[in-house]
A = this chain, B = another copy of it.
């Protein structure tokens, strides 16, 4: 595959940045990749495991001369980081990010993008329950969607170049506007995460059922919630605070529907329950057909999945 950018700077060295690095190296997609992390310990780990061609001790060093700057920091600090790198961005460079929320990131970062620099927010819909510089792997983005959210007036050539980078890392790419992105993600990701965190918290709180019982008998449904609820706490705090309106809207609808089902249980309305449960099966079928999950009968059973 041909090189897409000559110099790429990764700001923040967690799961996404480290996976981008390994995917870019595998494909020869970048000439040199610099990296910066706020924590000295993370920078040291990165140097130890060969994460980035050059790990820099300052934001300015990492960003200077970069053709592509990727902000991989929690959504809550995007604005502060953008303010710091502003003086170092070179004309013609592209700034993108990988945050799970887009409208808020645009509001934070947009004002710090100098004339002549492209700003193309992005969001790879890929992740695991793991975080940190050691958690990345080159295959993370394969067959997963990356959403680009170009702001008004962005040069099509700059967007095409960024799209090409993501596609070369194995991603499927789509474009949409920021408000729609934030609503779609509230439904498919943010609300489910909050719900999973809540259910795991309830189980942990319950005095009459021991933690040991919860853990031993988790294979009956609860296990899938704990997988979701094990994700990075800082990232998720920031997601909920910065996508507040859409998340609260979806949670409001969720609560309404849950109350309706609780009422059906209380009143013994089996027809209502059966009809509801039948309807939800079809969505699952669609997800398997779209290649976003597998149809194996013994998921989570303890074997190796493809790495």
Contact = CB atoms under 8 A, between A and B. Distances in A.
Contacts of A296: 304-305, 307
A139 interface: yes
Given A192-B199, A257-B201, A187 B226 contact: no
A292 B223 contact: yes
A233 interface: yes
This chain: how many copies in the complex?
2
A208 B177 CA distance: 13
A197 B276 contact: yes
Interface of A: 76, 125-130, 135, 137, 139-140, 142-145, 147, 174, 180, 183-185, 187-206, 208-209, 211, 213-231, 233-234, 236-238, 240-241, 244, 247-248, 250-251, 253-255, 257-258, 261-262, 265-266, 268, 270, 273-274, 276-281, 283-287, 290-294, 296-307
A199 B206 contact: no
Which of A125, A140, A216 lies at the interface centre, i.e. has the most chain B CB atoms within 10 A of its CB?
Answer: A216
A139 B272 CA distance: 34
A110 to B, nearest CB: 21
24 contacts: A128-B297, A129-B284, A137-B298, A180-B208, A183-B208, A187-B202, A187-B206, A192-B222, A193-B221, A194-B258, A194-B261, A200-B280, A200-B284, A201-B276, A218-B292, A218-B293, A227-B299, A231-B277, A240-B273, A255-B258, A294-B304, A294-B305, A297-B307, A298-B305
